[in-house]
Structure 1
């Protein structure tokens, strides 16, 4: 199946199913969060375990966030920002 066909299939499923569309959009948000948290951790040159200790979360929580397996709450992201002395910015684009 070509990429174009996959894109067409996704577009069709999003149009026909509000539940699929919402899940698809949430997966995109989760991926953006996963990448941002991983990049932050990498910029601090910390292991998941050391980063988790720094931000006061279990290492398993950091692993799940970085893999996109969970949606990090605004509170969790805010705590990560505060404990790493970073600013959390949420944008609508």
Structure 2
């Protein structure tokens, strides 16, 4: 049974986002970095490479790949294009 005074975190977060546009903007930026992280990690693992092997393949420092994959980097489109081209892939994006 749910206590009437109990609030779900998602409800709390939505309220905070409505009350603070800066929080919404910050969360959207972080979400993008995590999207890049997942995409790069999935690309690397689909190739069966370690971070070190992948970094050598795409001519980037392993530390750069690690920062992208753990969401601590906001890679430029140029960097993502270079990574894609290095493994014969095409970078695509869309406006939704």
Common fold: TM-score over 0.5: yes
**Of Structure 1 and Structure 2, which has the larger fraction of its residues in helix?**
1
**Structure 1: which 5+ residue stretches go unaligned?**
none
The superposition leaves residues 24-45 of structure 1 with CA deviations (integer Å, 9 ceiling, x where unpaired) of: 1111111111111001000111
4+ runs deviating over 2 angstroms: none
Q: Which residue of 1 aligns with 2:33?
A: 30
Map 1:1-93; keep pairs closer than 5 Å: 5-93=8-96
**Structure 2: which 5+ residue stretches go unaligned?**
1-6
Instruction: State which structure, 1 or 2, has the greater radius of gyration over its C-alpha atoms.
Output: 2
TM-score, normalised to structure 2's length?
Answer: 0.87
- CA RMSD between the two structures: 1.1
